[in-house]
Structure 1
Amino acid sequence: MVSAYCLCLVLILLGTSNAQLGGEPHDNAHPESMVSVGRAVAAAVSSVPLRNAAVPGLRMPVVGIGTGGYAFSPSQHGEIWNDTTAQKAVRKWIQLGGRRIDASYSYTDQIGVGKAIAAAIAAGEVTREELFVVSKVGSGGLIPGAAMGYNDTMVQIGPILSSLQMKYVDLLLIHWPGPPGKSKDPACQGQPATFKTCRQQTWKALQDMFKQGSTRAIGVSNFEQNHLQDIIDMKELLPSVNQVEYHPYWHEDDLVKFCQERNITFNGYSPMSCPDYAPPTHGWSHSALQEPVVMQIAQVHSADPSQVLLAWELAHGVVVNPRTRNPDHMTLNLQFEKVKLSTDEIAKIAAIVPPEKNKVCPDPHQYK
């Protein structure tokens, strides 16, 4: 079941203006002018340098589009993403100037992502070198063929690259610190006590992929301090990125500090607290977008509440992955850096009292 381990990358359904799924606006602009505008927008988006296990000079745009949905049928909470919806959304994202695309082997829509990228390149809207494409191995036991362990991980890179129609990805992550799934690796067998050795063997596989040129950088996702320490103890390459849930209801500031002290870029997912999924699933009355302090700050800055939340996260050194199929929302996401929050505003958002069940996805602390 998807919600069990949370294929979590964020949907942006924003404030009063961004709160409805609704229809998607039509864009009748001339193709050449769209390309010019898209390139100008892309040039205005900031990026951060990646350290540790990354090729020298590699930079990661501060905002990307997530492609992992929560629902597979209308009866489930959350937006439905499949190859068709992913292809349409990613193509529009590129046309509007988005350059970072966050995908995963386990989202089951990576073929659509690959088709969108290939079509955009063929149409001259972007070059492969201008894009920053992220994928992930392992799925928390969700997807057959996406287990952890050295050999089980090494065989995943072929299908990943094939589905994306490319020779390399820019960043490859271990999706979850556990469980290992149906791994055949002896290091991943037995009780949860084996998760440490299983993670280490999975990390060895990513290092080999990096050395072979299949990916320009490697990192992890949903890793807490103890999981990162397992990799640090190997005394080999360190992750360049740790992608973790981060929003006003759930922000592990100690983990952010731990990563930043080790030159691990902190990439936050669910920056809006997943308004399509979390409120109806967890019994919330509203998402972080409707918090009064967020809406008040948005009004002061003549901005959308979504842009305030993204600006708040970037102020903590966190790069973000908002997910949306709506072109208007994409434009807001690409322009959030115009919002410059004061120290007092940053503190007010951090002080928001979260709902009782304040985490969108399962807690990775359970994997020892």
Structure 2
Amino acid sequence: MTEELVLNNGVTMPALGLGVFQSPPEETAAAVETALNVGYRQIDTAAAYGNERQVGEGIRRSGLGRDEVFIETKVWVSDYGYDQTLHAFEKATRKLGVDRIDLFILHQPAPDRFDRTVAAYQALEKLLADGAVRAIGVSNFMRHHLTDLLARTEVVPAVNQIELHPYFTQPDVQKADAEHGILTQAWSPIGGITFYPGWGEKRKNVLEDPAIAEIAAGHGRTPAQVMLRWQLQRGRSAIPKSTNPGRIRENFDVFDFDLTEHQLATLDALDTGVRNGPDPDVPRPEMFDRAVPEE
């Protein structure tokens, strides 16, 4: 059993997917195969993760048909620009072993080179018009990034993937997404604390929050399951990452219980306004300029 969301262009997408950020390539294929065997039908990867090839391998190992798996991947900043992004699609499909991508998104707004960001998005529009991708979107775009992008392009993004967990809910970005009919997708949906060494070293572990633990105990669930249920009941997509087979199964076992409105509000109120990851408004040329290999 799973739940689905309808994107603003009518494409249907699973509400819950497996993320593979920081999944070592040597562990990724097995994690994807496990997830698909458990019942996941969406996999989220990215050129910058260095594991698109292993995602494709895991999908093939599962034995599922291409149309049964929703594949989402991201263009890295070093491949921004119109022709460069068209080539990034060729690299991604070659590594994944597919000829079509379900959701193709820009990984960062890259404010220090936003003209190239716009050109990259215009290439996504071309791929969408040609039927090479089923939906297009963005990641880590704040309200002002969306405003600037929409003023210079034609197709409203279907998805905006952002850091979102109980300690960092980004209400203004969620509101901006809703105003434009953009689905908010949560990365780090359970507040992963291993992300981005060097950022937020004083952050607290959301999994140890007493309010969440109390709600979890009342439902006979884990804190992670409660947070994922919160994401889904608030109408968001979530892509929890794990390579542990037990955790992969646990994260998918969230479709047979509901949080009360009071419990949802309790999680909403835990927001600290503090990121775990980097600020999308801060240019990071040392990372943005890192080339994505051809193979």
User: Please, what TM-score do these two structures have when normalized by structure 1?
Assistant: 0.73
Alignment of 1:76-91 (within 5 A): 81-91=23-33
**Where does residue 23 of structure 1 map in the other structure?**
none
C-alpha distance in 2, partners of 1:343/1:155?
46
With 202-211 and 289-298 compared, the bigger mean Cα shift is at 202-211
**Would you say the 8 A contact 1:196–1:230 is kept in 2?**
no
Matches within 5 A, 1:125-164: 126-139=64-77, 146-164=78-96
User: Is 1:61 aligned with 2:5?
Assistant: no
Aligned positions of 1:1-368 closer than 5 A: 44-52=1-9, 56=10, 58-69=11-22, 81-121=23-63, 126-139=64-77, 146-178=78-110, 192=112, 195-234=113-152, 236-277=154-195, 282-284=200-202, 286-352=204-270, 354=272, 358-366=274-282
Cα contact 1:278–1:284 (8 A) shared by 2: no
Secondary structure of the structure 1 residue equivalent to 2:71: strand
1:56-75 CA distance string (max 9 Å, x none): 4x211111011110xxxxxx
Query: May I ask how many residue pairs the two structures share in their alignment?
Result: 283
CA drift at 1:138: 1.8
- 8 Å CA contact 1:272–1:287 kept in 2: the answer is no
- One-letter amino acid of the structure 2 residue matched with residue 130 of structure 1: E
Give the unaligned 5+ runs of structure 2: 284-295
Judge conservation of contact 1:90–1:116 (CA < 8 Å) in 2. Answer: yes
Give the distance between the partners of 1:277 and 1:50, measured in 2 at CA.
28
Q: Which deviates more from structure 2 when the two are superposed, residues 128-137 or residues 206-215?
A: 206-215
Counterpart-to-counterpart distance in 1, 2:269 and 2:279: 21
What SS does the aligned partner of 2:275 have?
A: coil
Q: How much does 1:214 deviate?
A: 1.8
Deviations 1:111-165 (A, max 9, x none): 11111112223xxxx21111100011024xxxxxx42111221111111001000
Per-residue deviation at 1:285?
Answer: 6.7
Partner Cα distance (1:353, 1:166) in 2: 39
What TM-score do the two structures reach when normalised by structure 2?
0.90
- In 2, the alpha carbon distance for the partners of 1:274 and 1:208 equals 35
Unaligned 5+ runs, structure 1: 1-43, 70-80, 140-145, 180-191
Counterpart of 1:110, as a letter, is E
Query: For the pair shown, which has the larger CA radius of gyration, 1 or 2?
Result: 1
Identity among equivalent pairs (%): 29
